A and B are shown apart, each in its own frame.
Chain A
Amino acid sequence: MPQDRGVTQSGLAIRRMSASSEPPPSPNVRTGPEYAKLIDISRCIGCKGCEVACKEWNELGIEPTENFGSMQSHRDLGPDTWLLMRFNEIEVGGDLQWLIKKDACLHCEEPGCLYACPSPGAIVQYENGIVDFNHDSCIGCQLCVSGCPFDIPRFNPATRKVYKCNMCVDRVEAGLEPACVKTCPTNAISWGTKEDMVTLAEQKVERLQARGFDNATLYDPAGVGGTHMMYVVPHGDQLGEYDLPADPKASPGALAALGGLRKLGASALGLGILGTALHYLGFGPQEPGAAEVPSNGVGGGTAPMSAGGESRPTVESQATGESSPTVPSPPTGETPPTGDPTGSTEG
């Protein structure tokens, strides 16, 4: 466990930051080790000590429990319930089994929540792998909830912010393990560097397989670049029953498309404005001829700006200055904002 691993201060250098085109501003040049938490489901006895420790350390409020015919404390995660032991009841070989899942943020290497977030810096990923919400910057849009392939963040309508497990980042920064790790009475939760945890997991999987859990496996899904909370799953063939997505993606189809398109869209609007400007320079304003309005004197009497200058020339002579009967292409040959080609203007 952590104490003999020489866990040092990791610092909080930032690796990724939501909605940011610039490289993340690192408040700290140190890059400490990358951490991971390993949940050995086969050792979990379902005591929910970790749930309590989580509430205590993070001073989370009470969300009333409810008896709905399950050992589970709450039906779902909540803004004040960052960790929920899910008791999935299934039958294996005529026997009742609890496929317990410690449901909380997995601290993905490629965090879908962070990629989905529109507010700069509302979600950050530190160099140590922890994904954290920065509530000062959160605008309460809840798009992270939809971006998370594990359905983890929860919205608090009162504060208009979204909450989830922060891996006890304050403890980790101080060289301590997260509260749930500390409290677990059966050592079902291990803590250390990502590398060490993967090695440990492989040993655990081997031992499980030797004991007859042929499908035992490590859950560290590649679709999100691996996670900083991993599971050793005894029944690896039943991920669905554990409520673990078999192939989670950091940026599901629509979000990936959006990511690719948004530069294009912003550029298109910029080009649209540029197009109208170039059109204006090429063709100028189209003023009603002054001579035709005896009563009104000036053609564009109600115009917001008199773009024509002192003497109001007729439309044709003003547009080009060359007064040729056919209209020449503008000097730049720009596409007009309607998107229709102007190049061919045979009068």
Chain B
Amino acid sequence: MSAPNDLKRFAYAERVIHWVAGLSFLFLLMTGLAFSHPRLFWITSLVGGGSTARFLHPWMGTLFTGSMVVMFFTWAKEMSIQDGDRAWLKSIKHYAVHDKDNVPPAGKYNGGQKLFFWSMAILGVAYIVTGIPMWMPGGFLGVGPFYGGVVNSMRLVHYLSTVFGGLLLIVHVYLGTIAYPGTLGGMLHGTVTNAWAKLHHPLWHKDQSG
């Protein structure tokens, strides 16, 4: 699928870990929203019904958390936010309207992608910390029980984090697929074209071909 002078963007391991996180998160988002609102409860029927959804949700959450830990250590260094990224973030409204001339050139990841990475890392912690008391309200490893106020407030924080993470995911998926053709291929088979790199990540492109 890739032409000879395409650029390698994501290693096999990076792609696997990304899709484990991505697909498990999608499952969590859908089933979680089903629990959150009566009108969305029908979503549970897609995964085998309410009880099955309730059973699988925390285990998927465990998988997601595990993949996020691996992703974190794989990418944290590359994702550190530099001055260039701060400048990029300041011009995000130009970026949003495809006004490229007023957006500082990005490296391998732009400021928005880095911010997304860090937001997801923080949200990932929020999900697991608030999720465990709801998963095992009777307590675990001698801690607990959590019935009552603890579970109820965890539920609120878990929900707010979900809405936030969901919004981020919508933007992420949009940009990674239809908004920027050629991007999804990078995460699927690892390579992107020169033209894609030049357009979206000029500094990285220079680095790779220089």
Contacts and interface: CB of A to CB of B under 8 A. Distances in A.
A10 to B, nearest CB: 27
B184 A118 contact: no
B162 A19 contact: no
A307 interface: yes
Contact of A143 (B102, B155, B166, B193): B155
16 contacts: A139-B44, A141-B35, A266-B33, A266-B39, A268-B163, A276-B179, A290-B195, A296-B3, A301-B193, A302-B184, A303-B184, A315-B98, A315-B199, A327-B99, A336-B96, A345-B93
How would you classify the secondary structure of chain A's contact residues: helix, strand, loop or mixed?
loop
Interface in B34-86: 35-41, 44, 49-51, 53-55
Contacts of B22: none
A269 interface: yes
Interface residues of B, number: 74
Interface string A13-33: 000000111000000000000
A19 B40 CA distance: 10
Interface string A133-144: 000011111110
Contacts of A142: 137-138, 147
Interface of B: 1-6, 33, 35-41, 44, 49-51, 53-55, 92-94, 96-102, 112, 134, 137-138, 146-153, 155-156, 159-160, 162-163, 166-167, 170-171, 174, 177-182, 184-186, 188-189, 191-196, 198-200
A138 B4 CA distance: 57
Given A261-B160, A347-B102, A280 B174 contact: yes
Nearest to A306: B181
B193 A273 contact: no
Interface stretch (A173-181, A209-217, A281-289): A281-289
A341 B93 contact: yes
A301 B182 contact: yes
A162 to B, nearest CB: 11
A124 interface: no
Interface of A: 19-21, 116, 118-120, 137-143, 145-147, 151, 155, 160, 252-255, 257-258, 261-263, 265-266, 268-269, 272-273, 275-276, 279-280, 283, 285-290, 292-293, 295-296, 299-308, 315, 319, 326-327, 329-330, 336-342, 344-345, 347
A145 B149 contact: no
B191 to A, nearest CB: 7
Contact of B149 (A252, A290, A338): A252
Contacts of B149: 146, 252, 254
Contacts of B36: 118, 262, 265-266
B55 to A, nearest CB: 8
Contact of A302 (B2, B102, B167): B2
A146 B137 contact: yes
A214 B112 CA distance: 69
